Amino acid sequence: MKKILTAGALAAASFSVTAYAAPDQYIYPARVEAGEREIDFKFGTRDMRDNSLNRSSASIGLGYGVNEYWFTEAYVKYNHNAGGPTEFDAIEWENRFQLTETGRYPVDVGFLLEIERPQDRSEGYEVKWGPLFQADIGKTEWIANFLFERNYRSAEPSHATAYYQMQGRYRLKKEFAVGFQAFGDLGRWDNWAKTRQQGHRIGPAVFGKIALDSHQAIKYNAAYLVGRNRIDDGAYRGNTFRLQAEYEF
């Protein structure tokens, strides 16, 4: 585990515009299902005390489980800032790699590599990477991720930032679960921001799966998050609603 985190940190140093999480940020699972095909929709809206910082974002993508260890997805992203129109924001290519066999160890381990090409070409390429962890304990499921993000070949100097994701859920029945989600933006990977300048958001979440037939289903999760959002090296209070819906076929 230490080797994975160290490799991520070294990768951060190899890159040289700070990235902040969008409202439609979502949890990355460590597990991969071979042959899975999905159309994935994500949406998030952020309501801030300072209304000028309000923001909504969304994306839609097509994903495929290439084999038991690799899931890949390409999608387009849209953004809406306070007082402005909804605009095309970026295209993105996500790759998740499962590094351990499901259930062989107490914790399943994966790795994320994601590359984004913003519409604003001066931002270069945004690269995100880091380890993913997932475990089942009784009727509960837990996910914890620690990720790095940086813009590469941007017009302005850039440095990598670090952030975390956490999720816990309790299965009430096969098709429905309740739990929580949490996201945090810590600042520079090698020099975390002061506590009051970090962004930490947490809140209740619901999860579900609606089977359409033996090969098709709709999966969803939604959360209402409260706390601070890290924006331009500061942290501001606000509430975020986020939703993810997947059509599997």
Q: Parallel, antiparallel, or unpaired for β 108-118 and 234-248?
A: unpaired
* HSE value, Cβ hemisphere, 13 Å, CA-based, for 210: 7
Residue 146 has pLDDT above 80, yes or no: yes
Q: In the structure, what pLDDT confidence band is assigned to residue 20 with cuts at 50, 70 and 90?
A: low
Domains of the chain: 2-248 (2.40.160.40)
Distance CA 242, CA 59 (A): 12
Q: Residue 125 — pLDDT band, cuts 50, 70, 90?
A: very high
User: Distances in Å between the alpha carbon of 38 and those of 73, 179, 186?
Assistant: 9, 24, 32
What pLDDT does 214 receive?
86
Query: What 8-state DSSP symbol labels residue 194?
Result: P
What was the pLDDT predicted at 2?
A: 41
**CA–CA distance, 14 with 29 (Å, rounded to integer):** 26
Concatenating the DSSP letter of every residue in 17-80 gives: ------TT--PPPS---TT-EEEEEEEEEEEESSGGG-EEEEEEEEEEEEETTEEEEEEEEEEE
pLDDT above 70: residue 13: no
Q: Give me the mean pLDDT over the 28-32 stretch.
A: 98
Q: What pLDDT is attached to residue 66?
A: 98
Share of the chain above pLDDT 70, in %: 92
Of 199, 204, 200, 244, give the one whose Cα is nearest residue 224. Answer: 204
pLDDT of 48-85, one tens digit each?
999 999 999 999 999 999 999 999 999 999 999 999 99
DSSP state of 158: -
pLDDT at 197 over 80: yes
- Residue 17 above 80 pLDDT? no
Burial tier of 100 (Cβ tally within 10 Å: 0-12, 13-18, 19+): middle
Q: What is the pLDDT of residues 34-45, one digit of tens each?
A: 999 999 999 999
Flag whether pLDDT at 145 surpasses 90.
yes
* Predicted confidence band of residue 205 (pLDDT cuts 50, 70, 90): very high
Give the pLDDT confidence score for residue 142 in this predicted structure. 98
Distances (CA, A) of 156 to 121, 132, 151, 159, 244: 11, 30, 9, 10, 32
Task: Indicate whether 249 pLDDT > 60.
Answer: yes
Q: Which pLDDT score, from 0 to 100, does residue 233 have? A: 80
- Least confident range from 16-20, 90-94, 171-175, 205-209: namely 16-20
pTM of the model: 0.90
In tens, the pLDDT along 84-121 reads 999 999 999 999 999 999 999 999 999 999 999 999 99
